[in-house]
Structure 1
Amino acid sequence: MSTTEQPDAAGIAYREVTDSMGRMYRVGESDREILGYSRKLMVYLPWVAMMAISVFEYAYGSAEDVLSSAHGWTQSNTFWILSVWTFFQAGVSFPTGWMREKGILTARRAMLTGSVLALLGFLAISHFHNVWLAIVGFGVLGGAGSGFVYSTCINMVGKWFPEKRGGKTGFVNGGFAYGSLPFIFIFNFAFDTSNYKTVLDLIGVFVLVVVALCGWFFKDPPKNWWPAEVDPLKYAQANKKTARSLAKNPPATKQYTPIEALKTGQLPLIWVLLVITAGVSIFGISFQVPFAKDVGFGPLVAANSAGILSVVNGVGRGVVGWLSDLWGRKTALIFVILVLGFSQWGILWAGNMNNEALFLIFAFFSGFGGGAFYPMFASLTPDYFGENNNATNYGIAYSGKVVSGLFGGGIGSMVIDRWGYDGAYTTAGVISLVAAGLALFLRNPGYPRGSRKIEPNPQPISREVV
């Protein structure tokens, strides 16, 4: 068995190891040799950047009334602005991933571009009374900027932590929700038609600075990179936490191209599941505060329900990411979808009973279920299809949110206009249960169909040096 080593362009020695299924791993290079610092920074910096851009989606609902009064917009106008934002935030994920993996767009450049576009988004809703200009500025430019940042941050974590990505991805993803908490309270208690321009302009500058500073340090690992301290062919001998995570969520059997991933049928299934679950989540984000106000709850309850939703939404992503390392991604995903569905009925029930305490309790569960599925999809995709093309493969999966934004926000508003909150919340709960049923068909392609246990540590057929 050969053990010869060869240096890369930077003079760092590495080996390429191939297991019995043909999966190649590049081993021998430490994170510090590649980055100059610990890969942990590739968790904390994406996390901070995600918190900065969370204001777009999770705090927007709390600003809608003031925006409507200041610009003369209808409720439908403000909902469609968010829907267009969602469309572009998710829609740029695939082209961003494709450009990154083709070498056209570096991670740093994607973050810097996103930071500038985010600023333009806030300037648009601050200074433009014309709703179409607001849609172009906040919806198109702000959405695209947020998408650049979101997709880059999520894929950065998956690439640098292939052996224990669940908890790390959930932690970073959580910042996209609870990072909005300060802005939710600003919009509810210190935001009105006399100061809205100043507040929005300052928020835009804040997002620009934070995202640009974080993105400056972003760098992808080499293709096929695997941490030097974990033998990919003997991962059962790794520390207990890592070995358990890899046993429940074994590495992909190969590095699937987007076409190959689509042909497995699993990537299209992940896309459909994300469409449904994200649609219900966006519906909850968009209408929970208006529903609270509609049933007569005061502004404090409305603000607290939005705050609870964003905090638990974010914390839940980290918790479920950690649980998925223990239970497996599929089991954790089904659990989250069920919580999301039942909580929609609970919110409706509590609102109709005019019970504020019960409303906040179900807002807690809705927030938990409404965000925790995102890191599951972000982790499932490289688990099933590998890391090398993950930015593109996950871009395809995450593009399902394009459709979700349409029926979760804009179409959700139409359903409420026609059937009221009772019909809308009931429907949201039902389609969540349908998604949970579909999730039962998820499986890691390349492993035997229907097998109850995936055999760990496939033996090497070659241990070659490049």
Structure 2
Amino acid sequence: MLFNLSKEHITAGKGFNRWLVPPAALAVHLSIGMAYGFSVFWKPLGTALTGPDGAPLAACAAGATTFADKLAGTGEALFATDCNWTQFDLGWMYTLFFVLLGCSAALWGGWLERAGPRKAGLVATLCWCGGLLISALGVYHHQLWMMWLGSGVIGGIGLGLGYISPVSTLIKWFPDRRGMATGMAIMGFGGGAMIGSPLATKLMSIFATPSAPGVWQTFVVLAIVYTIFMTCGSLGYRIPAANWKPEGWTPPDQQHKRMVVNKHVHLKNAHKTPQFWLLWLILCMNVSAAIGIIGAAAPMLQETFGGKLIGQPDLSFADIKADETLTVAAAAVGAGFVGLISVFNIFGRIGWATSSDKLGRRNTYFIFFVLGALMYITATYAANHHQLALFLVAFCVIASMYGGGFATIPAYLADLFGTQFVGAIHGRLLTAWSTAGIVGPVIVNYMHDVRLEAKTPFADIYAPIFLTLAALLGIGFIANLLVRPVASKYFMTDAELAAEQSLGKAKEVNTKVVKLAADGKPSPAWLVGLAWLVVLIPITYGICMTVQKAWALFA
């Protein structure tokens, strides 16, 4: 039963404890969430090749300044073995991660709904961990194209399938707590780097030699560890029997909760509704308004507050840059800020998503957009008046709502479109994330560089950027205001739903499933406890490591 991957054979019996599914989802999401932490490899890989004197070789296309020159240099670096890669070269992996995540989720979301979460989770394991092994080979042979192909493309496909594989499953198991259920899983994706980054740093320090940084060995170890976690998590996925509901729970009365439906929209019709595109815009604006600024969190803090970060308020960031010792001290504080943001990003996912079960998804997003805009205005004031504590508070709140937006959107979709195809619809909606991953950083980086070239003082660079991002949240507010219940013409009839649920099921398989659902044995309590312990231990480790870094802000 455990290794049968078909959707029909993973239907749980009566006694199955639904609380076994969230730790399975967390095991997968904590593994693929390391995509957020890949920047820990940039500096080691940037000095991987050394000369006879032990000094790093020159960077590929060194000295290139324009974007076109950088692109040309990256093309040369794809096959070069006699020069070091630049951060620009390596950073394309990060872009590929999230572009491929959205595209693969959109392309194969329908297949996931038909094949079931277990099969999709194992394919995600093969892609993500196999991509790491290909990247390890690329590092060993110093071939950038293998890095891009391995982790960027193949791994990116694994990210997409791994990200959406538990969504519809959890929503079906927790119709009474949709937000909390998806928040628990998607919290893992935000927390993956919190665990993986310090682990990777430790592994590189173990494998490093005077002539090599130990990156390829680290990739191999991570691939093995993640294969174990993701395989166990994927095999732990189970789906409820048709029409299952928690004991004592009744679906909400649609007359009183018009934004929560008990019917289902087919995948082929979802994109024909205005609600789909409004939610697409809502997610895109929420992510665009935060992803660029969060990606630049450390330099933003250092440029804005300069010497105030290290107890020398009279020094500007330009003064700090001129002194290597001060630069290192300021960078440590910047890293602490990144750690603090990570903590709020993670707990915002479970906190806001759980709150949405009571507040409603639409009201929760209203809070995101109104409070988010106020926080950006607050950050502008704090930057102009050098109020560090207020600045930190503003961005901690923004980070929590950034994570909360990801975790709340699947439940919003389930409320409007039903649960039958919510995983696939969510997959298509994630193209908004891919778009935002380009829009947000482009806005932030372009406005930053333009103002820097205009000789704007470092402390004054970000205020107009914050106000621009607040305007993006205003667009999201309007889109959320326009969301209404889906028109009845888009919902499947009972006959269409029954046909869809039985699609591809053989008669003898259905008989076995019905017998299993009736005769299932209760899940032992020790198994539930063990499953949660396995995922809570690494989460606790990651939180401790992150808090240690964040303490630099208060030391």
TM-score normalised by the shorter chain: which range applies?
Answer: 0.7 to 0.9
Counterpart of 1:90 (choices 92, 99, 102) is 102
Please state if 1:271 is matched with 2:250: no
**SS of residue in 2 equivalent to 1:226:** coil
**In the TM superposition, what whole-angstrom CA distance separates every residue of 1:334-385 from its partner, at most 9, and x where no partner exists?**
2123344444555566567776545543331232121101122110111101
In structure 1, distance between residues paired with 2:256 and 2:332: 46
Offset at residue 442 of structure 1 (A) = 1.5
More divergent stretch after superposition (210-219 vs 426-435):
426-435
Change (3 A) 1:403 1:435: same
2:335 is matched with: 303
Change (3 A) 1:347 1:130: farther
Change (3 A) 1:361 1:444: same
In structure 1, distance between residues paired with 2:381 and 2:216: 38
Offset at residue 137 of structure 1 (A) = 1.7
2:455 is matched with: none
Counterpart of 1:99 (choices 99, 105, 111) is 111
After TM superposition, list the pairs within 5 Å mapping 1:148-227 onto structure 2.
148-186=161-199, 194-227=213-246
Change (3 A) 1:330 1:67: farther
1:24 is matched with: none
Counterpart of 2:48 (choices 70, 73, 83) is 70
After TM superposition, list the pairs within 5 Å mapping 1:216-365 onto structure 2.
216-232=235-251, 235=252, 251-292=260-301, 298-344=330-376, 357-365=389-397
More divergent stretch after superposition (88-97 vs 197-206):
197-206
Change (3 A) 1:326 1:87: same
Please state if 1:397 is matched with 2:375: no
Change (3 A) 1:223 1:122: same
Offset at residue 132 of structure 1 (A) = 3.3
In structure 1, distance between residues paired with 2:283 and 2:219: 31
2:77 is matched with: none
Please state if 1:431 is matched with 2:431: no
Please state if 1:116 is matched with 2:126: yes
1:80 is matched with: 92
Please state if 1:418 is matched with 2:456: no
In structure 1, distance between residues paired with 2:233 and 2:179: 22
In structure 2, distance between residues paired with 1:410 and 1:135: 21
Counterpart of 2:35 (choices 56, 61, 69) is 56
2:56 is matched with: none
The answer (yes or no) to whether the contact 1:271–1:396 under 8 Å persists in 2 is no
> AA paired with 1:332?
T
In structure 2, distance between residues paired with 1:75 and 1:81: 10
> AA paired with 1:106?
G
In structure 2, distance between residues paired with 1:136 and 1:69: 21
1:384 is matched with: 416
Offset at residue 249 of structure 1 (A) = 7.4
The answer (yes or no) to whether the contact 1:88–1:144 under 8 Å persists in 2 is yes
The answer (yes or no) to whether the contact 1:185–1:303 under 8 Å persists in 2 is no
Change (3 A) 1:155 1:410: farther
The answer (yes or no) to whether the contact 1:96–1:148 under 8 Å persists in 2 is yes
Offset at residue 40 of structure 1 (A) = 1.3
Change (3 A) 1:185 1:160: same
Change (3 A) 1:344 1:136: farther
1:37 is matched with: 16
The answer (yes or no) to whether the contact 1:248–1:328 under 8 Å persists in 2 is no
Change (3 A) 1:301 1:335: same
Offset at residue 273 of structure 1 (A) = 1.6
In structure 1, distance between residues paired with 2:246 and 2:192: 30
In structure 2, distance between residues paired with 1:376 and 1:32: 26
Change (3 A) 1:210 1:291: same
The answer (yes or no) to whether the contact 1:256–1:389 under 8 Å persists in 2 is yes
The answer (yes or no) to whether the contact 1:249–1:325 under 8 Å persists in 2 is no
**In the TM superposition, what whole-angstrom CA distance separates every residue of 1:167-214 from its partner, at most 9, and x where no partner exists?**
221122112113422334456788576333333332232222111111
> AA paired with 2:468?
T
Offset at residue 153 of structure 1 (A) = 1.8
In structure 2, distance between residues paired with 1:222 and 1:446: 28
The answer (yes or no) to whether the contact 1:61–1:289 under 8 Å persists in 2 is no
Please state if 1:374 is matched with 2:406: yes
**SS of residue in 1 equivalent to 2:248:** coil
The answer (yes or no) to whether the contact 2:44–2:213 under 8 Å persists in 1 is no
Offset at residue 276 of structure 1 (A) = 1.9
Per the normalisation by structure 1, the TM-score is: 0.77
Offset at residue 88 of structure 1 (A) = 0.6
In structure 1, distance between residues paired with 2:354 and 2:258: 12
In structure 2, distance between residues paired with 1:346 and 1:60: 31
The answer (yes or no) to whether the contact 2:107–2:428 under 8 Å persists in 1 is no
**In the TM superposition, what whole-angstrom CA distance separates every residue of 1:438-465 from its partner, at most 9, and x where no partner exists?**
2111222248xxxxxxxxxxxxxxxxxx
The answer (yes or no) to whether the contact 2:345–2:399 under 8 Å persists in 1 is yes
**SS of residue in 2 equivalent to 1:70:** coil
In structure 1, distance between residues paired with 2:186 and 2:263: 26
1:460 is matched with: none
The answer (yes or no) to whether the contact 1:223–1:388 under 8 Å persists in 2 is no
In structure 1, distance between residues paired with 2:388 and 2:224: 36
Offset at residue 300 of structure 1 (A) = 2.8
**In the TM superposition, what whole-angstrom CA distance separates every residue of 1:153-173 from its partner, at most 9, and x where no partner exists?**
222211221232112211221
In structure 1, distance between residues paired with 2:144 and 2:380: 31
> AA paired with 2:131?
G
Change (3 A) 1:65 1:293: farther
Offset at residue 38 of structure 1 (A) = 0.8
* RMSD, matched Cα: 3.3
The answer (yes or no) to whether the contact 2:356–2:364 under 8 Å persists in 1 is yes
**SS of residue in 1 equivalent to 2:13:** helix
> AA paired with 1:289?
A
> AA paired with 2:245?
W
